[in-house]
Amino acid sequence: MSTLGFERHNHARCIRSAVDAADALCATRGLRFTPLRRRVLELIWQCHRPVGAYDLLDQLKSERDGAAPPTAYRALDFLMENGLIHRIESLNAFVGCTHPDAPHQSQFLICTSCHRVAELSDPAIERQIDTKASGAGFQPERQTLEVTGTCDACAVTR
Amino acid sequence: MSTLGFERHNHARCIRSAVDAADALCATRGLRFTPLRRRVLELIWQCHRPVGAYDLLDQLKSERDGAAPPTAYRALDFLMENGLIHRIESLNAFVGCTHPDAPHQSQFLICTSCHRVAELSDPAIERQIDTKASGAGFQPERQTLEVTGTCDACAVTR
DNA sequence: TTGACATAGGTTATACTATAACACTATATA
DNA sequence: TATATAGTGTTATAGTATAACCTATGTCAA
Ligand SMILES: [Zn+2]
Ligand SMILES: [Zn+2]
Ligand SMILES: [Zn+2]
Ligand SMILES: [Zn+2]
């Protein structure tokens, strides 16, 4: 079995289901899932690697006139605020959320060899961190957990 | 009791003990704790808030001629490589390590109100994350855990 | 229907963060 | 002292993010 589980998967379906889920979610919440926001989400889902804002912007520039940094960042802000993507802090890059329906903290395994990223979402870890913080008199709001290392596919190849 | 424990503490002693510890550590490991590196560590310890590289650089510029970004970044790199400071990824800023002797992962509570930061270093959390990652076939190397929220001092004040 | 308001996006400029590359100096050690 | 290595000076540039102001579009009440 593979960590990140990217071998042999139908990635076109991957993208489509992410966008469909976003569509449904925005409809439910009364959010405007505009063509730009939809397109940015699609671009982020092109692969399971984090995408930099300026990589994204290069794509956008080739598709629409006058795309500039705010074009990308505003869409990214919208997608993040609504839990459709996550920001990988240690990489200054963005990745699609695999389960935007349920609220959860940011937990990632990041392979330093192939640069692919897997989202964890382990509620037990989330709770333990929360408990620890509260026990220290701190009111936790947001958790960011990023683990770098080697995914099993890359470990085998070595 | 206060989360971050910053009320009524002798901060001058705080700085001195951090620098002394670094001195000892470098001596033990045969590292060159140069005047620049020492000064940068002192500047980072001026407060318990993360310090940006360019804030640091502004200080350095006022103290030595020709200080430029590499002046700051090289010292920061040295201090990070040797566990004397940590980088707070979500803030692009740096903070002194409270126990550079023992190897450990990066775990922080970050108050969004007063911007002070407390280092956790909870081995149980470290282990749980490690176990989870390994269980997924991933070989973890580095963990970054950043929890934002409100420290108790700020919670009271509200 | 229309006007007032709010949201989204266009456009230009700028701020903030980090590294590349090469020259020169200090230190270690043989 | 000769040699190698590590540290720093210096200049330039790359990469990331936001401010500010304007225009277009959608929403909704009068
Ligand atoms: Zn997610
Ligand atoms: Zn990999
Ligand atoms: Zn530490
Ligand atoms: Zn606080």
Give per-residue pLDDT as tens, B27-57: 999 999 999 999 999 999 999 999 999 999 9
Confidence of residue A150 (pLDDT cuts 50, 70, 90): very high
Q: How far, in Å, is the centroid of ligand 2 from the Cα of A39?
A: 27
pLDDT tens, position by position, A12-56: 999 999 999 999 999 999 999 999 999 999 999 999 999 999 999
pLDDT at A9: 81
d(CA B51, CA A104): 29
- How far CA B54 is from CA of A102, B30, B35, B63, in Å, comes to 39, 29, 19, 14
Spatial CA neighbour of B132 closest among A110, A124, A4 = A124
Confidence of residue A2 (pLDDT cuts 50, 70, 90): low
Task: Give Cα B23 to chain centroid, integer Å.
Answer: 16
Burial class (CB in 10 A: 0-12, 13-18, 19+), A124: exposed
pLDDT tens, position by position, A44-101: 999 999 999 999 999 999 999 999 999 999 999 999 999 999 999 999 999 999 999 9
Confidence of residue B158 (pLDDT cuts 50, 70, 90): low
pLDDT at B2: 53
**Is residue B98 less than 8 Å (CB to CB) from chain A?**
no
Across the range B118-141, mean pLDDT stands at 97
* Helix extents (H) in B30-115: 35-44, 53-63, 69-81
Spatial CA neighbour of A96 closest among A107, A115, A83 = A83
Write out the residues surrounding ion ligand 3, Cβ under 5 A.
B 97
pLDDT at B78: 98
Per-residue pLDDT at A7 exceeds 90? no
pLDDT at A40: 98
Residues 121-150 of A with CB under 7 A from strand C: none
* Cβ–Cβ under 8 Å, residues A151 and A114: yes
Residue from the list A1, A129, A148 with its beta carbon closest to the beta carbon of B145: A129
- How far CA A51 is from CA of A56, A68, A102, in Å, comes to 7, 16, 23
Spatial CA neighbour of A108 closest among B22, B132, B153 = B132
d(CA A146, CA B143): 6
Spatial CA neighbour of B137 closest among A17, A33, A3 = A3
Per-residue pLDDT at B3 exceeds 70? no
User: Contact B144/A146, CB-based, under 8 Å?
Assistant: yes
d(CA B31, CA B92): 26
Number of helices (H) and strands (E), helices first, in chain A? 6, 5
Confidence of residue A1 (pLDDT cuts 50, 70, 90): very low
pLDDT at B9: 82
* DSSP single-letter state for residue B115: -
pLDDT at B157: 74
**Is residue B81 less than 8 Å (CB to CB) from chain A?**
no
Q: CATH number of the domain at B11-157, please?
A: 1.10.10.10
d(CA B80, CA B96): 9
Helix, coil or strand: residue B6: coil
pLDDT at A137: 95
pLDDT tens, position by position, B70-125: 999 999 999 999 999 999 999 999 999 999 999 999 999 999 999 999 999 999 99
**Sign of the C-alpha dihedral computed for residues A95, A99, A105 and A107 taken in this order:** negative
* Cβ–Cβ under 8 Å, residues A76 and A60: no
Q: Distance from residue A68 (CA) to nucleotide C10 (C1'), in Å?
A: 9
Quote the minimal CA–CA distance from B124 to chain A in Å.
9
Per-residue pLDDT at B1 exceeds 60? no
